[in-house]
Amino acid sequence: MLRGDVLTTATADPTTTTVARDFTDFRTVVSHSFVPLHVTSEHRDQFRGRIRSCGADDVQLTEVTASAHKVERTPELIARADRHYYKLSLILSGTGLLVQDNREAMLRPGDVALYDTHRPYSLVFEEDFRTLVVMFPQRLIDLPRDLVGQLTAVPMSGKRGMGNVVVPFLAQLGSNLDQLGGPAGVRLAHTAVDLLATLFASELDLARATAGPHHELMRRVLAYIDANLSSTDLGPAQIAAEHYISTRHLHGLFHEQGTTVSGWIRTRRLEHCRRELLDPVHASRPVAAIAAKWGFVDAPHFSRVFKTEFGRSPSELRRGLTVSERLLPPSA
């Protein structure tokens, strides 16, 4: 299918491929594929670009191959958005310079870096390049935003430590994007995000000496919460007692991260429920059973808070997920 100077392929393959032969159209496609961006290039006349994308649930993987250009996420563009996403770029060839939060990351093949779409950033590619971009809602990461915010525009190598495990997985998934549109797509997408959360936690642990006195305690508290989400007794008193601190101290830890103990527990429980409702493996399991597994013993209450969080009731979410819906780009 040809639209102007943009060639888009739409076949039985669940991926969408767009070949831009014109800079203006590439600029439009980039904003449509990700979030609204300001794109400029000093090589407009000879510009070439190709974008290949596929997604499952709200997780989108996109391979971009293009000529030199610069993208900027400006405060004006951010003001139009009401959804918060993280993006992670894996450089496959060429180089890229990411700038956010007064930090700069020069990325080379095999490097990854995180950035937050709800804060200004810029990416500069001074030569032809190829990159894999993973974009996902911030709620999918089981780490407080303030902690994750310490990692924006921080280069992470795919050749050592946890990066040597996570980056090859992402690269292989990028080479097999069509798998995201298959029966295992939701699981693959969530596995990718979980691996990224593990990578981020590992990087934060390496930097714990400068991360503040509460970092290690907060890490243990979060791990305890995730391990005990199914317990109906889980709450501030139990968590504080388990870690030999006062409930006031516990509430203070979460206040520093811009959230609350009960809010964090509820969010984590809801996300686990959402994942299982979308997973074909649990298609025959009653909604109430999934809710109870994750600590929601009152089915009507669960339905109300779930709809408030995600905009659809649990049953509507389960019925409404289609392949075409998975592939719609986020409108942030």
Q: What residues does each domain of the chain span?
A: 16-207, 212-324
What is the C-alpha radius of gyration for the chain, rounded to an integer number of angstroms? 21
Considering the chain, what is the average pLDDT of its residues?
87
Q: What does the pLDDT read at residue 212? A: 55
Q: For the domain bounded by 16-207, which CATH number is listed?
A: 2.60.120.10
Burial zone of 22 (CB within 10 Å; 0-12 exposed, 13-18 middle, 19+ buried)? middle
CB 39 within 8 Å of CB 66: no
DSSP type of residue 118: T
Q: pLDDT tens across 62-89, in order?
A: 999 999 999 999 999 999 877 889 999 9
Q: What does the pLDDT read at residue 2? A: 35
Fold exhibited by the domain 212-324: Arc Repressor Mutant, subunit A (1.10.10)
Of 116-120, 144-148, 158-162, which gets the smallest average pLDDT? 144-148
Backbone phi, psi, residue 62, to 5°: -135, 130
State mean pLDDT over 200-212: 68
User: Does residue 312 or residue 214 have the better pLDDT?
Assistant: 312
Which of 104-118, 175-189, 191-205 has the highest average model confidence (pLDDT)? Answer: 104-118
State mean pLDDT over 307-312: 90
- Is pLDDT of 5 > 80? no
Which amino acid type is present at position 188? L
- Is pLDDT of 8 > 70? no
Q: What is the pTM of this model?
A: 0.76
320: Cβ contacts below 8 Å, ≥ 6 apart = 312
Q: pLDDT tens across 99-117, in order?
A: 999 999 999 999 999 999 9
| 261-278 helix and 215-227 helix, angle to the nearest 10 degrees | 50
Residue (of 88, 90, 86, 191) closest to 139 by Cα position: 86
User: Does residue 103 or residue 324 have the better pLDDT?
Assistant: 103
Q: What does the pLDDT read at residue 206? A: 60
Q: What does the pLDDT read at residue 208? A: 58
Residue 137, classed as helix, strand or coil, is strand
Q: Count of CB atoms within 10 A of residue 94's CB?
A: 18
Residue (of 18, 125, 128, 131) closest to 71 by Cα position: 125
- Is pLDDT of 261 > 60? yes
Burial zone of 296 (CB within 10 Å; 0-12 exposed, 13-18 middle, 19+ buried)? buried
Q: pLDDT tens across 16-63, in order?
A: 999 988 899 899 999 888 889 999 998 888 899 999 999 988 899 999
> In percent, how much of the chain has pLDDT > 90?
61
